[in-house]
Amino acid sequence: MALSFSPVRALLVLGLSFALAACDSGDININPATTDNTVDNSVSNSNNTTQAATPTVNPCASYENSGGTKLQGDFDGTHCTYNEIFSDGGANPILVDLVLTKLDNSGVHVFKGSLFMGKNYSTDAGLSGAGITKGGDGPTLSIEAGATIAFTSASDFIAINRGSKMNAIGTAAEPITFTSLSDINGTVAATDVQEWGGIVINGFGVTNKCSYTGSRGATTLTGECHVVSEGSEGENTTHYGGNNDEDSSGRLEYIITKHTGYEVATDNELNAITFAGVGSNTIVKNAQVYSSYDDGYEFFGGSVNVENYIAMYVRDDSIDIDEGYNGTITNALVIQSQYDGNRCIEADGIGSFTSKTQAFIDDVVTRKLNSRPTITNLTCIVSPNGTKDAADADNPNKQGTHDPGAGWRLREGLYPKISNSLLIASFGPQIDSNNWCIRADTSQTAKSGDKLVDPVGGAIEAGSEAFIKNTVVACETKSSKNMAGDSSWKYLATEAGGSNVFATISGAVDATADLNTDLILVEGTTPVFSLAFKDMVVDGTALGARDGVTYVGGLESGGTNWTSGWAVGLDAKLWFDATE
């Protein structure tokens, strides 16, 4: 039952449009205990008599529960507050459509518990009995452009269960913000994390943690498929997986997710957004993660595509891939904080890889059930931070929350197609050799013809089922020692079509135009525009035209700035920008 609030919006006086999401922190103080649903609007007339108060219509979201009781948020005249009875995660999921409008006067929807859309099911019988089989047949959470949603606790999060959808459709002028109450009240710093949990979206997409017959695109499930989602615990446990790579979990456009990441248990952490078995008919475009304790976007299987993605100040992996994800990521900008960030990409091909037999691995790869992401036009600015456990007397404040800052870790049966990208770790001197740019860990990282080959022998090959091409890399340690020294990067730079370029770096080398004549890759202005490929300089030599490539990286100098007007934190001078 969808609820519309258009009459409310007609009654409320419209003020100037103010996109709260574009601010780093707000200055609104909200009392979460507010329960008043009206505001005293009484006035005195010329005869000094008091006129009757005109009640304010409550614009907060509402719905009827299974018992027929109407539940609605409390309105204090500006903000809507929803207590635990309204929605409290898996214990009290919302089973009907729900609408969150943009509130006037920078009002915020404040949730005092987790928000779960749709009930979680762990059996086929449960799904079938509820009429949920392929996706789109559960309730929908609709969020209006310009709305801000905030949570009060680190353990609170949003879960979109299988069959349900979230349509959060903002605009460049009015993005949608998911954040914490502490951010709204202005009590967090730009890089603070774990202020609330994040978002988990569960779909019916293929995951190689389940069993199938047939190859990708023509599979049939063998048995049931219900994989426990990351961040699950107790009654808040959710499941994903199935056999519908074209599933739709909704539409996310112009959204900002801030100050997320909660460690539910050891090695079980909520990400900014977890895409678990999410299908290709889900739209994700113009989306930003701003400060997260764990990963930015993590993909477990499925085929969802992402376009125009920003990850700033993510402490673990900005892009994390596993379990057979085979979607596309187009135009992405990753900026780690100066001394806290792990990998730009961590990508695994097969879930629980180390427990699998070689026969199992070969079968999954042959049937194309391993992760096969396509990543085009990615910019990574990598932090030169060290290992969190390292004893470094010279750099006591340069150890990251997780592992050292690094580039792309490609492993465990992964077949990536990465092109036209830019990877820079030269803006600070590396702490140790773990600040590498590219690392491939196993002999199943890619395929050449019909034979699995070792990475040192050329696993990632232009023109094959997996490749890295037309990419510029500027790191002091080009490739990990796990790739047998320098042989892998030399292979990528020469034999694999000769299309990749590796700069020779020693210490901190600025890659900004006009500051270093030997390495010129980006403009000296935010938000990190790549120079035209022909204008780039590596090791003192202009690259010139190559393979018809106009530019590499997520943002082109002189091209469309798709971050303009809505993204957070890109309008100020960033830590690596040494220009005046």
Query: Which residues have a Cβ under 8 Å from the Cβ of 177 and sit 6 or more positions away?
Result: 20, 21, 147, 148, 149, 255, 256, 258
Q: Residues 369-380: what's their mean pLDDT?
A: 96
Whether pLDDT at 555 is above 50: yes
pLDDT at 135: 76
Whether pLDDT at 395 is above 70: no
pLDDT at 356: 87
By three-state DSSP, how is residue 127 classified? helix
pLDDT at 9: 37
Which stretch of DSSP H or E encloses residue 312? Answer: strand 305-314
pLDDT at 498: 60
Helix and strand numbers (H, E) in the chain are: 5, 41
Structure tokens at 550: 């106009």
pLDDT at 40: 35
Rounded distance between C-alpha atoms, residue 457 and residue 26, angstroms = 53
Max CA distance (Å), the chain: 93
Are 470 and 493 contacting, i.e. CB atoms less than 8 angstroms apart? Answer: no
- The better pLDDT of the pair 273, 400 is held by 273
Written as one letter, the residue type at 485 is G
- Could you read off the pLDDT of 178-211 as tens digits, one per residue? 999 999 999 999 999 999 999 999 999 999 999 9
The strand pair at 220-221 and 212-213 is best described as: antiparallel
pLDDT at 125: 96
- The better pLDDT of the pair 225, 437 is held by 225
By three-state DSSP, how is residue 207 classified? coil
pLDDT at 396: 54
Query: Which residues have a Cβ under 8 Å from the Cβ of 520 and sit 6 or more positions away?
Result: 511, 512, 513, 514, 531, 535, 536, 537
- Could you read off the pLDDT of 439-494 as tens digits, one per residue? 876 545 544 332 333 333 344 544 467 788 889 999 888 876 544 444 556 656 65
Whether pLDDT at 49 is above 60: no
pLDDT at 453: 34
Which of 103, 98, 142, 73 has its CA nearest to residue 12?
103
Computed over every residue of the chain, the mean pLDDT equals 83
Whether pLDDT at 325 is above 90: yes
pLDDT at 444: 52
Q: Please state, for a pLDDT cut of 70, what percent of the chain lies above it.
A: 79
Spatial strand order in the sheet of 436-440: 115-117, 158-160, 199-202, 273-276, 297-300, 319-322, 343-348, 406-411, 436-440, 477-479
Query: 578: phi > 0 → left, psi -120 to 50 → alpha, else beta; which?
Result: alpha
Whether pLDDT at 27 is above 90: no
Rounded distance between C-alpha atoms, residue 152 and residue 183, angstroms = 10
Q: Residues 208-217: what's their mean pLDDT?
A: 97
- DSSP per position, 184-195: HTT-S-TT---S
- Could you read off the pLDDT of 486-533 as tens digits, one per residue? 455 665 665 555 688 889 988 888 999 877 889 999 988 788 999 999
- Could you read off the pLDDT of 67-98 as tens digits, one per residue? 889 999 999 999 999 999 998 888 889 999 99
Confidence of residue 254 (pLDDT cuts 50, 70, 90): very high
The strand pair at 80-82 and 74-75 is best described as: antiparallel
- The better pLDDT of the pair 13, 203 is held by 203
Whether pLDDT at 388 is above 70: no
Whether pLDDT at 301 is above 80: yes
pLDDT at 387: 58
